[in-house]
Amino acid sequence: MTFQQLEYVVEISKCGSINKAAQKLFLSQSGISTAVRELEGELGITLLTRSNRGVEFTPEGKEFLSYAVSLLEQKRQIEGLYGEARNSAAPVQFSVSSQRYPFVSDAFLRLLRTAEENRFRFGMRETGMDGVIDDVYDHRADVGIICLTDLTERIIRKLLEARELDFHELAAVSPCVYLRQGHPLASLPSLTEEDLDGYPYVAFEHDQGVASDFFEEYPMATLKKPAKYISVNNRGAAMAVLAVTDAFTTGSGLLSREQADGRVVTIPLVGKTSIHLGWIHVRSRPAPMTERFLQLLEEALADAIAFTRGMQDPGAAAH
């Protein structure tokens, strides 16, 4: 089977006859008929029936036609992609996969604003930690952004080691509680697990069977089976729920100046160990575009930490 034969079959379906297809392709009718018969013999099926009124595809022929159209389209895409690359500089490619942190999207936007390349293909994906690790391991992402805690570090580092991925810490931050500006607890300078008892808990949904070590919410014993539980699948939905309800969630507590609208605040969660934010990468030197992104990521993270501390303690920020 050849692509040429596939093109003949597809053209016959468009024209409704072998003769018209031959005329359009500037070929002889006998040449196309022979090619189709050879294809039928190779596959062991009858693709079409012939009559004085033209041709009609058999059920097997209609099924084969759908595959032929798809294969030819993929062939054109590949030829366009790499044919274009031969005639001009190939586009610079970069992708990042991250847990749902605003400073990562800020860094990605900074990358877009400063990109000077004439041709590039950039991508960003927000997902759970297991998805981030899979993306980097399978080379769908050049770099991944995750967090570790004292409770999860051992098992996550073991998984990363098995996949020959390295974790590079960017910063250690204290865990915080996210809640709305007018929440009954919003006026407190810090919170404990006991303070949160009875309020609805917001968490990002995870695939069935994913261990809690991969969650980006800060792990707390009282949240194993909360009485009121709200599941969302993206950061925007989580912030919207927090902004209009008495629900809360836990995490790094970081807010972004570019994305904060004042409706959601964060309050330190006392008595807990730090959250370690960092990036993961395959064991090789990062490409230049990845290194550029990591520099912007460090800047965006530093800005987010400073902005968040100022929101939590305006007096300290003023000094």
Domains 3-87 and 93-318 share a fold: no
One-letter identity of residue 172: A
pLDDT exceeds cutoff 90 at 215:
no
pLDDT digits (tens, 9 = 90+) for 169-208: 999 999 999 999 999 999 999 999 899 999 999 988 866 5
Considering only residues 209 and 121, tell me which one the structure prediction assigns the higher pLDDT.
Answer: 121
| Beta pairing, strands 54-57 & 48-51 | antiparallel
C-alpha neighbours within 13 Å on the C-beta side of residue 56? 5
Q: What percent of the chain has pLDDT over 90?
A: 48
Domain 3-87 has CATH 1.10.10.10: yes
Q: What is the pLDDT of residue 222?
A: 63
Q: What is the pLDDT of residue 83?
A: 63
The region of weakest confidence among 30-34, 88-92, 96-100 is 88-92
Q: What is the pLDDT of residue 98?
A: 96
pLDDT exceeds cutoff 60 at 318:
no
Tell me how far apart the alpha carbons of residues 124 and 111 are, in angstroms, rounded to a whole number. 11
What is the pTM (predicted TM-score) of this model?
A: 0.69
**Structural domain 93-318, CATH architecture:** 3-Layer(aba) Sandwich (3.40)
The full set of domain ranges for the chain reads 3-87, 93-318
pLDDT digits (tens, 9 = 90+) for 33-50: 888 889 888 989 898 887
Mean pLDDT to the nearest integer, 225-249: 90
If you average pLDDT over every residue of the chain, what do you get? Answer: 87
Tell me how far apart the alpha carbons of residues 110 and 120 are, in angstroms, rounded to a whole number. 15
pLDDT digits (tens, 9 = 90+) for 303-316: 999 999 998 887 65
The string of DSSP letters for 109-135 reads HHHHHH---SSEEEEEEE--HHHHHHH
One-letter identity of residue 136: V
Which residues, at least 6 apart from 11, have a Cβ–Cβ distance to it below 8 Å? 21, 24, 25
Q: What is the pLDDT of residue 319?
A: 43
